[in-house]
Amino acid sequence: MSSGANVDTNGGAEGGRAAQLKHTGLRPGWTTGACATAATTAAYTALLTGEFPDPVAITLPKGQTPSFALAAEELRAGRDAMAGIVKDAGDDPDVTHGALVRATVRALPPGSGVVFRAGPGVGTVTRPGLPLEVGEPAINPVPRQLMREHVARVAAAHGGTGDVEITVSIDHGEEIARSTWNPRLGILGGLSVLGTTGVVVPYSCSAWIDSIRRGVDVARAAGRTHVAGCTGSTSEKTVVREYGLAEDALLDMGDFAGAVLKYVRRHPVDRLTVCGGFAKLSKLAAGHLDLHSARSQVDKGFLAELARRGGASDDLAARVAEANTGLAALQLCAAAGVPLGDLVATKARDQALHVLRGAPVTVDVICIDRSGNVVGRSAEASPSGAEPSPSGA
């Protein structure tokens, strides 16, 4: 195999997600979830001690310990405390860059636990199919867990019970949300508080595609015969769990499925696994090579036709076509015993083989949910004389 990789001074190839980001030269930022956690930590500390830590440090899921300067603070003794953090999205063109994320913390009676509220600028879930129940504030599961963990740490350090109400608000969030898909998804009144790692990975199309190519080169130089294109950190964890792949065999594909497939076509490896969220990979199954929400959408009509071919009744197919999200469509089919996840994974694999144009690469696809659970997978397939159809179902 030819090599285009850089090799470190210890003789090992520098690869994996972190190396790809470093290679782009782009500056990472912080998610709304990380900012809300920092604001919560500062506010609860002030509620218990009378003093706001500034800067306030938090620990992210992968062990990073960033510090955040406070942009706003208010302590109302005996009632609550509020702290605000200005979101820095780094070099990512994020619509929430510069937004002021506030957390107001109020003590609750012992045994109440941690209760989340949506303040001004944070949306409320009004339709099923999202990872939160209808009526809940649009604060996603990972940021909620991160805030719970930091509340517990502050309580342990300063003699609190850890029973609090956290109201997250984002200045001008309702206005900003009009530039997102939230209204269409039934998240009304503002933005979602998001993030699985706490870190915003910046995307410049040209820089990230170049980093994907470099990732393939690194894997080949290291003698890796099995690599995985992953849409994010959760899918990366899934393929490591499933296959035990080394870090330099992991390609941070992001939304650029086409970039991975076209480069592997010219620089083949024995086996390629594509792993990502069900909804995102349904776009690949439908023939899209750019999976970004601004450039391709989940086609529920396509999913309905796949479901019908997998044994769904006309009534079920109609409900799939009208589902709020890809996840909702998947749940409808799962309840009826229709393997929509496997069908999508198989169709995505066939599309990948079509783009590979007979290159000597065996392909399999894994679809996951937001928690990293496998909800669909294809069998492995190798190139054959007849290319799979690039069309829909």
Is residue 160 domain-shared with residue 277, that is, in the same domain?
no
Please check whether residue 7 lies inside any domain of the structure.
no
Quick one: pLDDT band at residue 391, thresholds 50, 70, 90?
very low
Please check whether residue 100 lies inside any domain of the structure.
yes
Inform me whether the pLDDT recorded for 13 exceeds 70: no
CB contact at 8 A, 47 and 73: no
How many alpha carbons fall within 13 Å on the CB side of residue 301?
A: 2
Return the minimum-mean-pLDDT range out of 86-95, 96-105, 243-252, 278-287.
86-95
Please check whether residue 383 lies inside any domain of the structure.
no
Q: How far apart are CA 122 and CA 313, in angstroms?
A: 38
Instruction: Fill in the DSSP letter of residue 332.
Output: H
Give the pTM.
0.60
Q: Sort strands 100-107 and 67-68 into parallel, antiparallel or unpaired.
A: unpaired
**N- to C-terminal Cα distance for the chain?**
37
Last residue of a domain, one of 152, 183, 200: 200
Please check whether residue 153 lies inside any domain of the structure.
yes
Last residue of a domain, one of 200, 232, 252: 200
Quick one: pLDDT band at residue 42, thresholds 50, 70, 90?
very high
Is residue 190 domain-shared with residue 256, that is, in the same domain?
no
Is residue 184 domain-shared with residue 208, that is, in the same domain?
no
pLDDT for the residue 18 = 61
| 368: phi then psi, degrees, rounded to nearest 5 | -125, 165
Please check whether residue 390 lies inside any domain of the structure.
no
pLDDT for the residue 289 = 83
The string of pLDDT tens digits covering residues 211-245 is 788 788 888 988 999 999 998 888 999 999 999 99
Domain that holds residue 108: 29-200
Helix (H, G, I), strand (E, B) or coil at 387: coil
Please check whether residue 389 lies inside any domain of the structure.
no
Is residue 361 domain-shared with residue 213, that is, in the same domain?
yes
Is residue 237 domain-shared with residue 112, that is, in the same domain?
no
pLDDT for the residue 393 = 40
Is residue 66 domain-shared with residue 188, that is, in the same domain?
yes
Please check whether residue 250 lies inside any domain of the structure.
yes
Instruction: Report the CATH number that the domain containing residue 163 is assigned in CATH.
Output: 3.30.2110.10
Is residue 229 domain-shared with residue 195, that is, in the same domain?
no
Q: How far apart are CA 382 and CA 380, in angstroms?
A: 7
Is residue 313 domain-shared with residue 177, that is, in the same domain?
no
Is residue 195 domain-shared with residue 238, that is, in the same domain?
no
The string of pLDDT tens digits covering residues 313-337 is 999 999 999 998 898 999 999 999 9
Helix (H, G, I), strand (E, B) or coil at 391: coil
What are the distances in angstroms from CA 344 to CA 98, 146, 238, 266, 315? 38, 32, 18, 26, 20
For the chain, the domain total comes to: 2
Last residue of a domain, one of 134, 168, 200: 200
Read off the pLDDT of each residue in 338-358 and give the average, rounded to a whole number: 96
Please check whether residue 10 lies inside any domain of the structure.
no
Is residue 184 domain-shared with residue 216, that is, in the same domain?
no
Is residue 319 domain-shared with residue 308, that is, in the same domain?
yes
Higher pLDDT, 272 or 293: 272
Mean pLDDT rounded to a whole number for the chain: 87
pLDDT for the residue 392 = 39
CB contact at 8 A, 37 and 143: yes
Read off the pLDDT of each residue in 243-271 and give the average, rounded to a whole number: 92
The string of pLDDT tens digits covering residues 285-309 is 999 887 665 566 789 999 999 999 9
pLDDT for the residue 28 = 78
Inform me whether the pLDDT recorded for 248 exceeds 50: yes
Helix (H, G, I), strand (E, B) or coil at 25: coil
Is residue 190 domain-shared with residue 275, that is, in the same domain?
no
Distance of CA 81 to the CA centre of its chain: 31
